[in-house]
Amino acid sequence: MFSDLAESFKDTLSSFGLETFLTDTFEVPFHSIECDVIILLGIVGSLKGVLTFEYDDNATHSIIRTMMPGAENEPLGEMSLSALSEIGNICGGMFLSRCKREGTDITPPTIVTGKNIKAMINNNKTYRFYLSLASGTIVVSLSFS
């Protein structure tokens, strides 16, 4: 299941012409966050959990530059965030499809932004992997209740 998620995310970005490289994978005791831009999706049904995608500034810049040329030089606006949100949405759907878990669905994405965010996403075991994109880092985390 974890490899399904990693492949789904890489395939999603690849479909937009963005090549990523998996750098690290971990199992950590709880689901927290590290970056200032977070896309959060809930998983409901026979599996219940939370999926997050976090982007640092460089990764955000690379994605926006590819998907919306010219917009990368402007402050992060609604159109840019919508593009990031859509990546999470597509990946989440692809991941559930690959898992073949009946009776499971994802919720619409919520984007959270801010500085020095303290968060508790889930206090259960979390699968986390890091990908590099250009000179940036993307963190994908998945935890279940």
Residues of this chain that interact with another protein (CB under 8 A) are 40-45, 48-50, 78, 81-82, 85, 105-123, 145
* Cβ–Cβ under 8 Å, residues 10 and 138: no
Closest to another protein by CB, 57 or 134: 57
Neighbours of 115 (CB within 10 A): 5
Q: What is the nearest approach in angstroms of another protein to the Cβ of residue 131?
A: 22
Report the distance separating Cα 93 and Cα 136, nearest Å. Answer: 24
Q: What is the nearest approach in angstroms of another protein to the Cβ of residue 56?
A: 17
Distance of alpha carbon 49 from its chain centroid, rounded? 14
- Distances in Å between the Cα of 30 and the Cα atoms of 27, 42, 76, 123 are 9, 16, 29, 4
What element of type H or E holds 53?
Answer: strand 49-55
Q: What is the nearest approach in angstroms of another protein to the Cβ of residue 23?
A: 25
Closest to another protein by CB, 20 or 52: 52
Q: What is the nearest approach in angstroms of another protein to the Cβ of residue 61?
A: 18
Closest to another protein by CB, 22 or 117: 117
Closest to another protein by CB, 124 or 135: 124
* Cβ–Cβ under 8 Å, residues 5 and 13: no
